[in-house]
Structure formats: C-alpha cells, structure tokens
Amino acid sequence: MTKKGDFDKIAKVMTIISVVGKTNSGKTTLIEKIIPELKKRGYKVGAIKHDVHQFEIDYEGKDTWRMTQAGAETVVIASDKKMGMVKRLNSEYTLDKIAEWLFPDVDIVITEGYKKQNKPKIEVNRKEVGGELLCSPDELLCIVSDRKFDIGVKCFGLDEITAITDIIVEKIKAAK
C-alpha cells in the first residue's frame, strides 16, 4: 500500500487521477467530458470504475459464466474490437497494481471512486446532492461544483471542461 505523498513517485510512471464525490454528484458525466478533451490533446486514456458492491458482468447461462462456474480463475472474451475479463480475486487490487497490469499503453488513468486510495483527486460536489467535501484540501487537484468553496483549492464550474483538463495535463507533464 502506498504512503501519503507517494502518489507523485508513482505518477512519474503513469498518472492516475481519481474523480470522487457522493452518489449522483456527476462523476461519470464529468469523466465522459474529460476523456474526449484529453484524447483531442493527444493523450491515451484508461478508465477504472470502482464498485463497492458486488457487480456482475458475466451472466448465468453464457459461455463465459459457465467457464467461471467450472472453476477457471480467469475467463476472457475477445473479439477484434474489444476484450472483457472476469478474474477471481482474493482481495481488492490497488490502483497501482491494476494500472501496471492492465494499462501499460496509456498516459493517464482516470478513476471513478477510490476516494481512500492515495491519488490526486478531483471532487465533484453539487448543491442538489449537498453535504461537505469528502476530501481534504491536500488530496485535491481541484473541486468541480455549482457552488464555491474557499479552502485554497481551485474550484471550477460543472462545464469548465477545458480548465479542468488543463489541470490534469499539468499533472501528466509534471510526472514525466
């Protein structure tokens, strides 16, 4: 597990930034807008969605499900356009391990969630969802919100995608 402050050392290999916020705050929507902006600027982008619940992508009766049920530790479904994998785990992998293993060909990995991992974060906070920020100022690259916060961290509106992406690009460049 990484210690506080270690994310800068790891970021020299690959930049990982987590978009965090409460449920229905707009995390996925923000990521959907950031990815094409980064791609426009020539960056290769990976994405990881953290799920604290038991998700299922392998459905009963499908061939991959049957292979998993038969005891395969890892099952991959692949075509000429995309690939999916189901892998049994004994414990949750760290972001660094996932990125090193699955994203060797990207410049940046944007995660949704992982608020407890030691990575720089963009916190999405909207009036409608309410409440205090989830992260401390030292964890944040910026805040994206429809209200203002005066905590010494840059704060952007929900549609200021160019400015938000500029902050991310600064982090990528600093890592090189």
Q: What is the pLDDT of residues 57-77, one digit of tens each?
A: 778 888 988 998 898 999 998
What does each C-alpha distance from 47 to 19, 112, 116 come to in angstroms?
A: 11, 8, 17
Q: What is the CATH number of the domain that holds 102?
A: 3.40.50.300
Tens-digit pLDDT profile for residues 30-46: 999 999 999 999 999 99
Inside any domain, residue 83: no
Among 1-15, 83-97, 123-137, where is mean pLDDT lowest? 1-15
Inside any domain, residue 68: no
Among 51-65, 72-86, 146-160, where is mean pLDDT lowest? 51-65
Report the candidate in 55, 14, 21, 9 with the shortest Cα–Cα distance to residue 140: 21
Report the candidate in 1, 173, 161 with the shortest Cα–Cα distance to residue 96: 1
pLDDT confidence bin for 4, thresholds 50/70/90: very low
Tens-digit pLDDT profile for residues 99-116: 988 898 999 999 999 999
Inside any domain, residue 149: yes
How many domains does one find in the chain?
Answer: 1
**pLDDT score of 1:** 41
Range of the domain at 115: 7-53+91-175
Inside any domain, residue 61: no
Inside any domain, residue 85: no
Inside any domain, residue 74: no
Tokens of 71: 């005891």
Q: What is the mean pLDDT of residues 141-157?
A: 95
pLDDT confidence bin for 13, thresholds 50/70/90: low
Q: Is the pLDDT of residue 2 over 70?
A: no
Inside any domain, residue 28: yes
Which has more pLDDT, 154 or 58? Answer: 154
Q: How many CB atoms lie within 10 A of CB 56?
A: 9
Among 50-54, 127-131, 144-148, where is mean pLDDT lowest? 50-54
Q: Is the pLDDT of residue 133 over 90?
A: yes
